Amino acid sequence: MPTIAHGYAAHSADTPLAPYTFERRDLRADDVRIDILYCGVCHSDLHTAHNDWDGLIYPNGTLYPNVPGHEIVGRVTAIGDTVGKFKVGDLVGVGCMVDSCDHCDSCDHDLEQHCAHGATWTYNSPDRITGENTLGGYSDSIVVREDFVLNIRHAEAELAAVAPLLCAGITMWSPLRHWNIGPGKRVGIVGIGGLGHMGVKLAHALGAHVVAFTTSESKRADAFKLGADEVVVSRNAAEMAAQAGKLDFIINTVAVPYSLDAYLALLAVGGTMTLVGIPSEPHPSPSVASLIGGRRSLAGSLIGGIKETQEMLDFCAKHHILADTETVAMQDIESAFARMLKNDVKYRFVIDMATIKPAA
Ligand SMILES: [Zn+2]
Ligand SMILES: [Zn+2]
């Protein structure tokens, strides 16, 4: 039998999210049903709810009603007949994907996010079997194929601060691992927000020398606390100039269009800058000379595969790494969105799903 879920949905691009009751599918043999305890609030949630990515990320825009949320942690309440990895009562997570084709070259190499047939995103994506639009984690339960469910090995008391690892954490972890960041490497993290604060923590834990870049003098002390070895206020020309040619790798989280040349100039010979934020309008083209000059690379990266996401979660559990979060009630999601747009959060909102239960 399908089960009833209580969630919050956007019903159009310009109306506030509102309570929405819907069905979660009956368990397929390889499905896990999860009671959602916390869900992080990602910029993608807001942009999807507001249909900001029509044609940019989503070929058909946002389909309404849209239930956002892809930083999900919760507890297993039921399993399908063939599920072997999970049992009822387990603490688990679900990130940005809930399915993929399983047989293309990307899927064969644990890169489901690059599935040749298109990964099934946790929300606003057609279910691979029924074609129905997926509905995300701003709800009290979800049903997900077991291969896309992650084990959570943190303490239960830490769950709220684990949720943002499922998108923000893996978005930073995957490029750090792909470009072999560790001891002896100098890494720049540009933008100290939901993504960047995780980047500083993870790069520091991997043993790199971390240089945090922020536009805000007020974040300087915080960035040191997060684990930065140096902090550069990017409006300060002298501080920027002092880093010229010094960084082996940069992860740039900034998602507004601006000139990338100032950061390319900070890369050492052979260095790479990876972009993880998608601006709504293109960045101005960087100078080819600044790429050729130091044999520098400009790259991009999108979340990470399921195997890599589990690796990141296990690393974070072992090293006691959590996101810095502010917990909000489901009813307060619109004020959380408004504050997020002003960067008025340190550093991630997390919804406490206990607040969603309908009045008895
Ligand atoms: Zn996200
Ligand atoms: Zn595939």
The pLDDT of residue 56 is 85
| Model pLDDT for residues 88-140, shown as the tens digit of each residue | 999 999 999 999 999 999 999 999 999 999 999 999 999 999 999 999 999 99
| Model pLDDT for residues 263-301, shown as the tens digit of each residue | 999 999 999 999 999 887 889 999 999 999 999 999 999
Calculate the average pLDDT of the chain: 96
Cα of 72 from ligand 1 centre, angstroms: 11
Cα of 277 from ligand 2 centre, angstroms: 23
The tokens for 6 are 């209580």
- Residues whose Cβ atom is located within 5 A of ion ligand 2: 100-101, 104, 107, 115
Which ligand places an atom closest to the C-alpha of 278? 1
Distances in Å between the Cα of 173 and the Cα atoms of 57, 101, 178, 257, 282 are 22, 24, 9, 24, 25
**Which among 52, 278, 17 is positioned nearest to 136, based on CA atoms?**
17
Q: Is the pLDDT of residue 148 over 80?
A: yes
For helices 168-178 and 194-205, give the axis angle rounded to 10 degrees. 40
| Model pLDDT for residues 55-95, shown as the tens digit of each residue | 888 989 999 999 999 999 999 999 999 999 999 999 999 99
Cα of 34 from ligand 2 centre, angstroms: 24
The torsion region of residue 295 among left (phi > 0), alpha (psi -120 to 50) and beta comes to: left
| Upstream peptide bond of 65 is cis (omega within 30 degrees of 0) | yes
Which ligand places an atom closest to the C-alpha of 112? 2
Which residue did the predictor score with more confidence, 35 or 1? Answer: 35
| Model pLDDT for residues 302-359, shown as the tens digit of each residue | 999 999 999 999 999 999 999 999 999 999 999 999 999 999 999 999 999 999 976 5
Cα of 228 from ligand 2 centre, angstroms: 37
Residue type, 53: W
Q: Is the pTM of this model over 0.95?
A: yes
Q: Is the pLDDT of residue 360 over 90?
A: no
DSSP, res 212? E
Alpha-carbon distance of 199 to 191, in angstroms, equals: 10
What is the average pLDDT across 202-206? 98
